[in-house]
Structure 1
Amino acid sequence: MEQKITIPTDSEGFYSLECPYCKEIFKALGGDIDSEDTLELFCPSCGLVDDSNKFISDNIIEHAQTLAMNYMKQQLNKTFKKASRKMKGSGLTLDFKNLKEEPPNLLTEDEKLEQVQLHCCNKTIKVHADQTIDNIYCPFCGVN
């Protein structure tokens, strides 16, 4: 069984990312991150590199886990409801209380980030406004 969970983007199509080392938040366009060429990312702040999937923020992972757990609870509720109907009249009883779903984490846009054009790869990212273009590493090629 496969359940697809999509990572939301902001209104301009940017994914929120978090460096696994310095925990700095930044954003990159969905098409750039989803590209088959993007296997690793560099942190725009500290410049360290890791697999691109390591830059998914803890908040988004928790959101996805809650959605997956709710889906599992829905499937179990359906299965046991059907099973209890089939057992009626058989002399056996099945008492099952529906599992309650948890509300997923709200993914808020609390970060004030500024768009920066990277000339090395001709891509656009969003970083904290206090960072200047001189001290930003390109997430795609690592150029400072």
Structure 2
Amino acid sequence: MTDTNFEIKIPTDNDGYILFKCPKCTNYFKVKPSDVEDDGILQIFCPACGLSSENYLTDDIIELALSKVGNYANNLIFQEMKKWEQEFSGSGLSFKAGKKPTEEYEVPIRSTIEAMNVRLYQCCARTAKIKPLLEMTSSYCPFCGVKDFGTE
């Protein structure tokens, strides 16, 4: 059996930021794809709780991935059942594959949360979009984890 890869394109907002969700505190924030892909950034930290995580996938991305994998698996199973149907014909045994399963709708991903402000983190000279409340109080730099109080 060959490996199968699925590509899911995550859209950016009008300013070029992608939406992330912290799995630990469920806070949403946005960073630029170029910052995420930069080899100099070893991990991403949540601006709200300051903790790092393996992934920051939003519920929309997870739902789309599960739909894609489910549709693919159902298709493979149906194709295998059709092969069995042909193999058993004329052998005294009967096997019917039935109808092809209907595919689950794959909901496209949209960059939805817009009520965020761009914050420049002096420590890394990079920007991220965070909630206004975090900007008024304090936040952690998503790129190095240093607490930033926003004072110049």
Q: TM-score range by the shorter chain?
A: 0.7 to 0.9
Matching residue's letter, 2:70: M
1:72 Cα offset (Å): 0.8
Query: Rg larger in 1 or in 2?
Result: 2
Matches within 5 A, 1:1-144: 1-11=3-13, 12-47=15-50, 49-53=51-55, 55-97=56-98, 98-112=100-114, 113-132=116-135, 135-143=138-146, 144=148
Structural RMSD (CA): 2.5
Identity %: 28
Superposition misfits of 4+ residues, deviation over 6 angstroms:
none
1:94 Cα offset (Å): 1.5
Q: Which runs of 5+ in 2 are unaligned?
A: none
> TM-score normalised to the size of structure 1?
0.78
Q: 2:18 touches 2:111 (CA, 8 Å); kept in 1? A: no
> TM-score normalised to the size of structure 2?
0.75
Q: Could you tell me how far apart the structure 1 residues matched to 2:61 and 2:73 are?
A: 18
Which has more strand, going by share of residues? 1
Q: Secondary structure at the match of 2:82?
A: helix
Alpha carbons of 1:52 and 1:121: their partners in 2 closer, same or farther (altered >3 Å)? farther
Q: Could you tell me how far apart the structure 1 residues matched to 2:19 and 2:94 are?
A: 49
* Count of residues paired in the alignment: 142
Q: 1:38 touches 1:52 (CA, 8 Å); kept in 2? A: no
